[in-house]
């Protein structure tokens, strides 16, 4: 059959990635339907080897395609048109050759490419195209084209170079001989047969799918040879890469570097891949990758050591240049940079200097905050204070005193920003010379570094009262980064000031590290557990190192031993937390503004449990709010009988226990529902409500119920108010008893010197007023020796806890009076206050904590010094004041009357207390 006499040919689509070039052979599996259509064509043509038009079908171009396929320009908007006229050489069933073949394609089709063709109309791409064999009008390229001499010579040179490289890289000798034989044939090919030889070679080498389609679509002989030349040059370059890598590695090897051979080879491979990817991106017409190489868009960053090192040094240099001109940090950075360039890269000193420069340039220096920041815009917002107050109220319940102090600071911050903005606007509106304008904008040399000094707040209170979480809320309200530094157990001064650079593995202190993590000069830094910092030892005194950090007059030039450049801490808002003030040194305490968090009342605990703790535990344990209804009575029983504490951590643990208990019940309920569905029994209703009587079933025996039952009215026993070492208030019985002896006073209970002196003063006052109290028959008689000599033993329980402080005088006096007179004090009354030998009651500290402790213990009558009346009115919540009865006394006589009742003691005469005044 002559090609010129066949204007129409059956079109056979070739699926991706099959391409049949002229002179090439292709064997594929076809379906039964397609094989039947080919047999029909064979029968109609009357020839044993009919001719069909093979058209490669490109893959669909979607974003998720990972084949890096770029279609030829002719198929961007239309279907494929270019193909090859091929002769059907063989069509046989597969079962004649092999028994293991898919049932979908039971035939094998062998094709032999003859010449290029072009469809008159683009081929439609649809799902039924794979098994179709429709006839289409085709056009053949002119057959009498002769390439130019220059194009033919360039083609032969590129082809010979590629064949020589393929022969050298061939492992098998037979394959090598084949490439050499083709080289000999190529040298004798005439110019008019060069296009035919190009088809042969392109079909033989492993090219890209896109390259083959582009080569197939090239109809003119001149363009075909030029395109084949480009493909051969590209393939030769790819084949030369392994040899080039081997040469580079061989040149870099030395006797000391042989153990790094594999690493050097891998680095060379990565560099070649990177250069190849860069070259492909630089040329728009170049393909996106080479066959067989999966670059993935970039080289591996961790393996490119040299490039990464150069980039780090360039970035470090940019950071040094960005520092403020003339500043101390810039001068030191430039000096260290020059040292770094003189020291060899492999030296240990090189790494030390480089690490120092990285630390120095990564800190937020004042020059970086000269321009208006987003935080300044937040402060200038008219609703700034309202938003900050809402943020504090949303995160914490109560704590009005602390919130008021923070709102004061935020108000000052807003006013300062408004004044600065107004001054800058007035200066910009007045025309003046440049030196005058600079003087008006910056009258002080360091005015750019000045700002609103952050206060140093010290939150003192028991554990679980929200001291640490308050710092996070403050940072949110200010829009600043938050950093927490735990000082518990810090014993080395260098952890605050940093180690000097002369030490191995030295580094900056925790303050500078927090500044670097924050990335800003005005973060909120929380110094947690400042009362537990180590004392002075051979490592230095960490508490003394904190003096410079927390002093507003000194911390604008804080000196870290590692950085050795003054660091500005004046804009940092420092918040310290502590459980007690006893272990904090006086100079350090003087630099802090103390804010006490005494604890929560029962009402506040119930609100906190409702708003924060219970929803948190429900979410953590997989329950919804509709599955658990905790009544107020149940919450009150939990707070009073199981978690009598100042904070809410114990309350949260108790709520967690109840939620987990209900979670177990919920799982059992769901399992029972599944069982009733199978047995058709009535399902049991879910009980979501937890009443007060259900709490003991979930939490066990109440922890504090026994203490209330054991509290009784007994001779010689009264109850005093105390503050524990963790800052929690509570009550403690003061017990006294008389034993035969010689008239001595014995004090036990791990008492300190101060509280022992209070006991001696109380006994001396009782002896002095023994006749007035009706203890002795006449004046001048020692009640401990007449009528029978006795000793008085005064004891404060919980001997494992050390007790000290000037606030137990009133309680000890009442205990001794009760013992010697036989009158009992009420078990619902507690007292505190110090006494003098003249019978005056002096004020004490920790009133709010003591009152709340008594409230938690359900003691509602309290005896307090008269001078502490203002403390109660100012610090104690109004609802607590309304529930309790306070007796404010000035003398011991008033205290005894309040403790035992009016007229109970039966004074023998009214004693008028006279004071001498000059």
Token pair belonging to 834: 């110090």
Of 170-179, 405-414, 501-510, minimum mean pLDDT range = 170-179
- What pLDDT does 131 receive? 67
State residue 380's pLDDT score.
Answer: 67
3-state secondary structure of 108: strand
> pLDDT for 58-88, tens place per residue?
876 654 444 455 555 555 446 788 888 888 8
- Which of 382-386, 573-577, 682-686 is modeled with the greatest confidence? 573-577
Give the confidence band of 427 by pLDDT, cuts at 50, 70, 90: low
DSSP label at residue 94: G
Predicted confidence band of residue 814 (pLDDT cuts 50, 70, 90): very high
**Burial class for 795, CB neighbours closer than 10 Å (0-12, 13-18, 19+):** middle
Q: What is the mean pLDDT of residues 478-504?
A: 85
The number of CA neighbours under 13 Å toward the Cβ of 869 is: 9
Q: Where are the beta strands (DSSP E) in 461-528?
A: 482-486, 524-528
% of the chain exceeding 70 in pLDDT: 80
Q: Is the pLDDT of residue 823 over 60?
A: yes
pLDDT (0 to 100) of residue 290: 40
Q: What is the pLDDT of residue 678?
A: 62
How does pLDDT run across 850-892, given as a tens digit for each residue? Answer: 888 888 788 889 999 999 999 888 888 888 888 899 999 999 9
What per-residue string of b and e applies to 686-709 under the rule 16 or more CB within 10 Å gives b? eebebebebbeebbeebeeeeeee
Distances (CA, A) of 554 to 240, 305, 557: 67, 44, 6
Lowest mean pLDDT among 147-151, 365-369, 701-705, 844-848: 365-369
124 secondary structure, DSSP code: P
Tell me the per-residue pLDDT of 576-612, one tens digit each, with 9 for 90 and over: 988 888 888 888 888 888 888 777 777 788 888 888 8
Question: What's the pLDDT band for 381 if we cut at 50, 70, 90?
Answer: confident
Q: So what's the pLDDT on residue 370? A: 42
CB atoms within 10 A of CB 724: 18
Indicate the angle between helix axes 221-252 and 194-204, nearest 10 degrees. 50
The pLDDT of residue 836: 92
Q: Which has more confidence, 591 or 307?
A: 591
Tell me how far apart the 2 most distant CA atoms of the chain are, in Å: 153
Residue 397 CB-half CA count within 13 A:
17
Active-site residues, by number, are: 807, 850
CA distance 768 to 605: 47
Residue-level pLDDT at 246: 64
Taking residues 610-620, report their average pLDDT.
88
Query: Of 22, 17, 42, 18, which Cα lies nearest the Cα of 92?
Result: 42
The angle that helices 328-342 and 305-322 make with each other, rounded to 10 degrees, is: 150
Residue 189 is predicted with a pLDDT of 78
% residues pLDDT > 90 (the chain): 8
Query: Quick one: tokens of 828?
Result: 């619902």
Reported confidence tier of residue 2, pLDDT bands at 50, 70, 90? very low
Q: Which has more pLDDT, 500 or 176?
A: 500
pLDDT in tens, 522-571: 889 999 888 888 776 767 788 888 888 888 888 888 888 888 888 888 88
Quote the crossing angle between the two packed helices 384-395 and 400-429, to the nearest 10°: 160
Tell me the per-residue pLDDT of 628-641, one tens digit each, with 9 for 90 and over.
888 888 888 888 88
- Per-residue pLDDT band for 436 (boundaries 50, 70, 90) equals very low
Segment among 170-174, 213-217, 448-452, 664-668 with least mean pLDDT: 448-452
Strands laid side by side in the 456-460 sheet: 482-486, 524-528, 573-578, 456-460, 593-596
Answer positive or negative: Cα dihedral of 330, 336, 340, 346: negative
Report pTM. 0.57
* Average pLDDT taken over every residue of the chain: 78
The predicted-structure confidence for 703-735, as pLDDT tens digits, reads as follows 766 565 567 888 899 999 988 766 577 888 999
Cα separation, 388 vs 403, whole angstroms: 10
Give the pLDDT confidence score for residue 369 in this predicted structure.
47
pLDDT at 840: 93
**How confident is the model at residue 445, as a pLDDT?**
41
Q: Which one-letter DSSP state was computed for residue 151?
A: H
């Amino acid at each position: 059959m002559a090609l010129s006499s066949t204007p129409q040919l059956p079109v056979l689509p070739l699926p991706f990635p099959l391409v049949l070039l002229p002179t090439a052979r292709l064997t594929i599996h076809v379906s039964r339907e397609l094989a039947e259509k080919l047999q029909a064509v064979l029968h109609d043509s009357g020839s044993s080897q009919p001719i069909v038009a093979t058209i490669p079908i490109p893959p669909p171009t979607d974003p998720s395609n990972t084949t890096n396929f770029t279609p030829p320009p002719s198929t961007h908007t239309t279907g494929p048109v270019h193909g090859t006229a091929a002769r059907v050489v063989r069509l046989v069933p597969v079962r004649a050759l092999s028994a293991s073949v898919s049932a979908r394609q039971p035939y094998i089709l062998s094709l032999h490419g003859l010449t290029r063709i072009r469809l008159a109309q683009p081929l439609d791409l649809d799902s039924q195209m794979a098994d179709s064999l429709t006839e289409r009008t085709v056009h053949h390229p002119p057959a009498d084209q002769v390439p130019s001499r220059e194009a033919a010579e360039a083609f032969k040179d590129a082809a010979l170079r590629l064949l020589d490289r393929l022969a050298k890289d061939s492992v098998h000798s037979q394959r090598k001989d084949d490439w050499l034989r083709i080289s000999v044939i190529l040298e004798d090919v005439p110019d008019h047969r060069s296009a035919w030889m190009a088809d042969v070679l392109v079909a033989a080498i492993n090219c890209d799918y896109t390259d083959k389609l582009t080569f197939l679509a090239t109809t003119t002989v001149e363009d075909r040879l030029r395109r084949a030349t480009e493909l051969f040059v590209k393939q030769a370059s790819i084949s030369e890469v392994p040899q080039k890598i081997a040469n580079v590695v061989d040149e870099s090897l030395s006797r000391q570097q042989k153990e790094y051979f594999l690493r050097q080879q891998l680095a060379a491979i990565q560099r070649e891949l990177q250069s190849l990817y860069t070259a492909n991106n630089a040329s728009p017409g170049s393909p996106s990758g080479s066959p067989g190489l999966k670059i993935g868009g970039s080289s591996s960053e961790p393996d490119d050591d040299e490039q990464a090192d150069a980039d780090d040094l360039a970035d470090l240099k940019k950071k040094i240049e960005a520092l403020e001109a003339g500043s101390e940090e810039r001068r030191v950075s430039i000096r260290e940079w020059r040292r770094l360039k003189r020291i060899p890269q492999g030296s240990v000193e090189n790494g030390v200097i480089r690490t120092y420069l990285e630390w120095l340039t990564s800190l937020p220096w004042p020059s970086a905050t000269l321009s208006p920041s987003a935080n300044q815009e937040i402060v200038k917002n008219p609703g700034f204070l309202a938003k900050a107050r809402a943020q504090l109220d949303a995160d914490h319940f109560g704590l009005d005193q602390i919130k008021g102090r923070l709102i004061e600071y935020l108000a000052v911050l807003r006013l300062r920003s408004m004044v600065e903005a107004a001054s800058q606007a007035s200066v910009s509106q007045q025309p003046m010379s440049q030196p005058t304008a600079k003087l008006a904008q910056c009258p002080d040399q360091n005015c750019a570094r000045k700002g609103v000094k952050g206060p140093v707040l010290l939150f003192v209170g028991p554990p679980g009262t929200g001291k640490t979480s308050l710092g996070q809320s403050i940072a949110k309200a200010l829009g600043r980064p938050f950093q927490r530094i735990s000082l518990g157990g810090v014993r080395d001064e260098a952890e605050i000031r940093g180690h000097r650079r002369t030490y191995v593995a030295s580094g900056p202190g925790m303050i500078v590290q927090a500044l670097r993590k924050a990335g800003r000069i005005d973060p909120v830094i929380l110094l947690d557990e400042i009362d537990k910092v180590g004392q002075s030892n051979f490592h230095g005194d960490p508490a003394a190192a904190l003096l410079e950090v927390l002093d507003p007059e000194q911390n604008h030039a804080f000196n870290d031993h590692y950085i050795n450049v003054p660091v500005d801490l004046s804009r940092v808002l420092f918040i310290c937390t502590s459980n007690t003030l006893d272990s904090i040194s006086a100079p350090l305490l003087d630099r802090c503004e103390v804010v006490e968090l005494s604890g929560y009342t029962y009402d506040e605990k119930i609100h906190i449990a409702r708003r924060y703790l219970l929803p948190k535990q429900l979410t953590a344990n997989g329950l919804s709010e509709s599955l658990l209804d905790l009544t107020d009575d149940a919450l009150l029983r939990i707070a009073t009988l199981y978690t009598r504490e100042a904070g809410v951590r114990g309350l949260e643990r108790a709520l967690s226990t109840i939620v987990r208990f209900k979670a177990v019940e919920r799982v059992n309920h769901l399992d029972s529902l599944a069982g009733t569905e199978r047995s058709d029994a009535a399902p049991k209703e879910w009980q979501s409500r937890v009443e007060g009587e259900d709490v003991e079933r979930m939490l066990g025996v109440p922890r504090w119920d026994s203490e209330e039952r054991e509290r009784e009215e007994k001779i010689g026993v009264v109850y005093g108010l105390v503050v524990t070492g963790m800052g929690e208030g509570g009550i403690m019985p003061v017990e006294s008893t008389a034993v035969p002896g010689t008239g001595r006073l014995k004090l036990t209970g791990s008492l300190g010197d101060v509280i022992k002196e209070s006991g001696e003063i109380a006994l001396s006052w009782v002896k002095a007023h023994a006749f007035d109290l009706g203890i002795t028959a006449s004046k001048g008689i020692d009640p401990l020796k007449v009528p029978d000599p006795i000793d008085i033993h005064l004891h404060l329980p919980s001997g494992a806890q050390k007790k000290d402080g000037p606030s137990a005088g009133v309680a000890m006096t009442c205990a001794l009076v009760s013992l010697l007179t036989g009158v009992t004090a009420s078990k619902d009354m507690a007292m505190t206050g110090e006494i003098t030998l003249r019978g005056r009651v002096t004020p004490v500290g920790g009133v709010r904590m003591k009152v709340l402790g008594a409230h938690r213990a359900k003691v509602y009558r309290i005896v307090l010094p008269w001078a502490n009346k203002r403390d109660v009115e100012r610090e104690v919540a109004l609802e607590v004041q309304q529930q309790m009865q306070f007796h404010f006394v000035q003398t011991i006589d008033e205290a005894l009357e309040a403790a035992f009742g009016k007229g109970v003691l039966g004074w023998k005469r009214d004693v008028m207390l006279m004071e001498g005044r000059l």
